[in-house]
Amino acid sequence: MEEDPTLQLRVFDLNCWAIRYLSKRRQERVQLIGDTLRREGFDLVLLQEVWSEGDYSVLKETLGSCYPFSHYFRSGVIGSGLCVFSRFPILDTFLYQYSLNGYPYMLQHGDWFCGKSVGLVVIKISGIVFNIYVTHLHAEYCREKDAYLPHRVVQAWELAQFIRHTSKAADVVLLGGDLNMHPEDVGIRLLRACTGLRDAFAEAQRFEGCEAGCTLVPDNCFTVKTELQPFPLGIRIDYILYKAVSDFAVKCEELRTTTGTAPGKDIPYSDHEAVMATLHVRRQSRTPGPTLGTAEPALADAVNEARTEVRVGLQAARRRRYASGRMALLALLLLLLQAAAGLGSLAGWAAGQPLPKLSFCLLASLAAGALLLAAGLHLFHTREVKMLQGTEEEMRLALRALQGRLGAA
Amino acid sequence: MEEDPTLQLRVFDLNCWAIRYLSKRRQERVQLIGDTLRREGFDLVLLQEVWSEGDYSVLKETLGSCYPFSHYFRSGVIGSGLCVFSRFPILDTFLYQYSLNGYPYMLQHGDWFCGKSVGLVVIKISGIVFNIYVTHLHAEYCREKDAYLPHRVVQAWELAQFIRHTSKAADVVLLGGDLNMHPEDVGIRLLRACTGLRDAFAEAQRFEGCEAGCTLVPDNCFTVKTELQPFPLGIRIDYILYKAVSDFAVKCEELRTTTGTAPGKDIPYSDHEAVMATLHVRRQSRTPGPTLGTAEPALADAVNEARTEVRVGLQAARRRRYASGRMALLALLLLLLQAAAGLGSLAGWAAGQPLPKLSFCLLASLAAGALLLAAGLHLFHTREVKMLQGTEEEMRLALRALQGRLGAA
């Protein structure tokens, strides 16, 4: 069989850190990112944390001539922050919002308000169908005591399921984004084992950039140095992952990252480093699928470990649901008691009001406020429990199916 | 090419109306449904409104011997209410929650609390891959002034996108559920035009059951007669839709509905009638796709009409966002004024407190409560605006692509 010529695809991925009012020198950096992208002429640009649609419009205007096709994914209260610019027509798009994404009362973290999602765009180049996914998972604020780990594991699981179910007709699958997980973390292993995606950094024939491919590095003037203290080189949490299905082969010829300050400027593009991959795609004769005995045990391990994390999260969510339910009940009881006392004193049953009117009213307002708040929290954590239970059950079924296949082999 | 033998698939679909504490004679009916399903021996059972996991467990136990495979989809605060029982192994499952689903403060309707979703189960029978979808869309409480129409249209759009993107490797696609839309409604036309799904009622070679295939009929003792007044025969809102992709053909040999009271009992199974289809699936030589000029103009019309509804919803959502934002601002202003007055009187600047302490405290509590509530509502409606905008944009792009294709033809 004669092989087709190779198709080269240059992909750019960056978490832009463009939060209105909060990110330093945002507008300057957005312009800088736009200018660089226009100059460099990639085929495909995957961006995260473009929270403001105004910034997206600036980029769209700057990039219109080189990247005539683009899509901004709207989601959550603030927006998903995800967008894609492409040299090739975008044929189709779809958005999936993760079912769990932190807590609305964790205002200092704010992930909940963004409606973290995965966006899919479908493009076709020389007859090859590419399913391109861009995503941003919940941030990790404290690695030692990571309260968001179960939510992030659920997100990694849903991301894997979404890619699996939507990419069945694609020739090439590509995922770019800030996964907020180190390469050896359970979520990454789960994602890779479920989908068969390969890590561009690990597969690259040539690499140039920050040591160990790190994308959050101490050399970047915008990173918080104390957070990176346990990791002197930095950490790698931004990825380009890919795989070819059916009759195609993809290899990563080159991977690059930016290295802090942008060339000729006094600032970096973002607090993250950009990841840039040059991929080669070519048609090939059909290769047999991965043999049982290499991929499936790794998958079983990852699902098992992830399930443990989800269970830990489930216990914590149940405790929170119980605590908020109890608080709501106590507040309701207090309100009822007060209502009874109030009615009693109105009817003249009691000798006198045991509390002065002012304290009585203050206490009633407090109880009503506590009741509303606790009831809202109880609903929120009931939903959290439900989603964690659902994921745990899905993982249990997946494990059973896997064990059946492994046992039969 | 020799044709394979025909595969027969008997499908049962029912909105079970099993709401704990609210639905009449719930446990008796759940047992009745279980007994009937066991006796009738369908291949596939798609249920909605099984809100309680306890009821699902009862059904699972009753049906274990005839339907060894089942799945319950967890979602929202209460649960999606969706479950599937199958004679054939369930190979894979996936859940998609609709991004818009009513309002949490509409407690009397309660749809928001259910986290309305579409569930997918994948099964394989004689080498044929079936993607089976089960769903339940937002209810219609008042047809003349349907405040939920834009949300239901968004749900129909997301349902269509979800089916399109996840069914690319399926041989046969089947959707069952309570769509809460009449056959000629814009959402149904949108769904059918986007996905190519065919209506089992319209295609059936034989039909037996309620007139015009209605599934909410005045003869059912549990239906609210006043709601059905404009429709003397009842309405058809529960569907079985199907299509074959690639090299298969499906036809609906028979469609039946239940007709009110269950045989030999004094009650019906539910307030909805069940829909039962007998489908015949057979392999065939590849047929050409639908020619341009029949399907695409209908799709363009449906998308156009749906987009108008989404726009109407967007305007209303913007008004609600504005009103809640203004209320939050006013409450904040009142609180600040009170704080200033309080501080002033503490510092002895004012001659005296303009309000008695009690009224002052009551007003402050009221303002704080109003601020919290209005801020929450503002966030909710900001998200609503975002999702409606996103859908409107997706529809705009779809229309442009369609017009391009129609223009080129």
Q: Do A382 and B77 touch (CB under 8 A)?
A: yes
By the CB < 8 Å criterion, does A342 face chain B? no
Tell me what pLDDT residue A289 has.
Answer: 53
B165 is catalytic: no
The answer to whether the CB of B37 falls within 8 A of the CB of B270 is no
Q: Give B-chain residues touching A373 at CB under 8 angstroms.
A: 372
Q: Running DSSP on this structure, what letter comes out for residue B87?
A: S
Asked whether the whole model's pTM tops 0.90, one would answer yes
By the CB < 8 Å criterion, does A79 face chain B? yes
pLDDT category at A288 given cuts 50, 70, 90 is low
Comparing CA positions, the residue from B301, B163, B305, B168 lying closest to residue B241 is B163
Tell me what pLDDT residue B284 has.
Answer: 87
Tell me what pLDDT residue B354 has.
Answer: 62
Q: Do B77 and A115 touch (CB under 8 A)?
A: no
Q: Taking 70 as the threshold, does the pLDDT of residue B289 lie above it? A: no
By the CB < 8 Å criterion, does A92 face chain B? yes
Joined together, the tokens standing for residue A378 give 């109880």
Tell me what pLDDT residue B1 has.
Answer: 45
By the CB < 8 Å criterion, does A115 face chain B? yes
Tell me what pLDDT residue A409 has.
Answer: 64
Q: Taking 50 as the threshold, does the pLDDT of residue A292 lie above it? A: no
By the CB < 8 Å criterion, does B390 face chain A? yes
By the CB < 8 Å criterion, does A93 face chain B? yes
pLDDT category at A362 given cuts 50, 70, 90 is confident
Tell me what pLDDT residue A354 has.
Answer: 62
Q: Give A-chain residues touching B168 at CB under 8 angstroms.
A: 166, 168-169
Q: Name the 3-class secondary structure at B15.
A: strand
A71 backbone dihedrals φ, ψ, rounded to 5°: -150, 135
A169 backbone dihedrals φ, ψ, rounded to 5°: -105, 5
B384-396 pLDDT, tens digit each: 999 999 999 999 9
pLDDT category at B291 given cuts 50, 70, 90 is very low
A331-346 as b/e: b if 16+ CB within 10 A: bbebbeebeebbeebe
Q: What residues 355-384 of chain A have any CB closer than 8 A to a CB of chain B?
A: 357-358, 361-362, 365, 368-369, 372-373, 379, 382-383
Q: Taking 60 as the threshold, does the pLDDT of residue A35 lie above it? A: yes
Q: Give B-chain residues touching A73 at CB under 8 angstroms.
A: 390
Q: Do B386 and A76 touch (CB under 8 A)?
A: yes
Q: With pLDDT > 90 as the criterion, what percentage of chain B qualifies?
A: 74
Hey, how many other C-beta atoms are within 10 angstroms of the C-beta on B70?
Answer: 18
Lowest mean pLDDT, pick from A341-355, B48-62, B156-170, B250-264: A341-355
How near does any CA of chain B get to the CA of A85, in Å?
15
B299-344 pLDDT, tens digit each: 999 999 999 999 999 999 999 999 999 999 999 999 999 888 888 8
Tell me what pLDDT residue A325 has.
Answer: 97
By the CB < 8 Å criterion, does B79 face chain A? yes
| Chain A residue with Cα closest to B99 | A97
Q: Taking 50 as the threshold, does the pLDDT of residue B297 lie above it? A: yes
Q: Running DSSP on this structure, what letter comes out for residue A130?
A: E
Tell me what pLDDT residue B349 has.
Answer: 67
pLDDT category at B287 given cuts 50, 70, 90 is low
Q: Give B-chain residues touching A387 at CB under 8 angstroms.
A: 74-75
Question: Region A319-328: what's the mean pLDDT?
Answer: 97
Q: Which of A77, A168, A365 sits opposite B168 (nearest CB)?
A: A168
Chosen for mutation from A72, A90, A383, A393 (greatest number of chain B CBs closer than 10 Å) is A383
Tell me what pLDDT residue A277 has.
Answer: 98
B63-108 pLDDT, tens digit each: 999 999 999 999 888 888 999 999 999 999 999 999 999 999 988 8
Q: Which of A166, A361, A379 sits opposite B77 (nearest CB)?
A: A379
Distance CA A233, CA B337 (A): 52
B163-192 pLDDT, tens digit each: 999 999 999 999 999 999 999 999 999 999
Q: Name the 3-class secondary structure at B134.
A: strand
Query: Angle, nearest 10°, between helix axes A357-408 and A295-346?
Result: 160
Distance CA A81, CA A92 (A): 19
Joined together, the tokens standing for residue A156 give 């990694």
Q: Do A75 and B387 touch (CB under 8 A)?
A: yes
Tell me what pLDDT residue A1 has.
Answer: 45
A339 or B302, greater pLDDT: B302
How near does any CA of chain B get to the CA of A278, in Å?
27
How near does any CA of chain A get to the CA of B121, in Å?
11
Q: Do A120 and B394 touch (CB under 8 A)?
A: no
By the CB < 8 Å criterion, does B400 face chain A? no
Tell me what pLDDT residue A291 has.
Answer: 47
By the CB < 8 Å criterion, does A246 face chain B? no
Q: Which of A73, A76, A165 sits opposite B383 (nearest CB)?
A: A76
Tell me what pLDDT residue B338 has.
Answer: 87
Q: Give A-chain residues touching B357 at CB under 8 angstroms.
A: 358
The answer to whether the CB of B331 falls within 8 A of the CB of B376 is no
A125-166 pLDDT, tens digit each: 999 999 999 999 999 988 889 999 999 999 999 999 999 999
B14 or A113, greater pLDDT: B14
**Mapped to the 3 state alphabet, what secondary structure does A18-67 carry?**
ECCCCCCCHHHHHHHHHHHHHHHCCCEEEEEEECCHHHHHHHHHHHCCCC
A262-286 pLDDT, tens digit each: 988 999 999 999 999 999 999 987 6
Q: Do B99 and A161 touch (CB under 8 A)?
A: no
By the CB < 8 Å criterion, does A166 face chain B? yes
